Amino acid sequence: MTETLIWIAVALAVVGVYLSWTAGRLDRLHARIDAARAALDAQLLRRASVAQELATSGVLDPASSIVLYEAAHAARKAEDDQREVAESELSQALRAVFADNAQLEAVREAPGGPAALGELTSAVRRVPMARRFHNDAVRAARAVRAHRVVRWFRLAGHAPFPMAFEMDDEVPDALGADAQFDAG
């Protein structure tokens, strides 16, 4: 009888340790999602700010300035449920404005233009990486939350179900990987 109770206690301890470990892992994944989302938000805000600054600098033609300014402003002011759409529209506006090499040359020739292009290029390139890190963290948390044990014992607690951030983040060709800008 005593030996049976010991084995039951050991089995319960092992199950308890496993449940605790899984809950801790899920908590760390949720913290990773929060950190990745904060980094993504920072990169999106940086991209929108640089685009807005460039749109108001006076070096772009008036139509391009308006398109870029409105898209950047909408991206900065978008509510959470409309954020993905607004950020995608900013990506499309950046591609439309910088599809014409004349715009790129006009910015390059302006005082401080190469530095502005360098900052915009950096901001535009970092958004896909930040989004990828965020979505990878979401994918990992979803995989753990899909396990039966996690659902049966409600190890996720009251944490909201993690959602991926889906947007058009294609970098404009003119600001792509092979584009080089001098900061001086």
> What is the tens place of the pLDDT at every residue in 1-55?
799 999 999 999 999 999 999 999 999 999 999 999 999 999 999 999 999 999 9
Nearest to 175 by CA among 111, 112, 128: 128
CA 139 to chain centre: 14
CA distance 67 to 101: 17
Percent of the chain with pLDDT over 70: 96
Lookup: tokens for 123: 């901001």
Q: Are 44 and 123 in contact (CB under 8 A)?
A: no
Highest mean pLDDT among 7-11, 103-107, 179-183: 7-11
User: Residue 86 pLDDT > 50, yes or no?
Assistant: yes
Q: Are 168 and 91 in contact (CB under 8 A)?
A: yes
Given this model, what pLDDT does residue 181 score?
52
Q: How confident is the model at residue 180 (pLDDT cuts 50, 70, 90)?
A: low
Percent of the chain with pLDDT over 90: 81
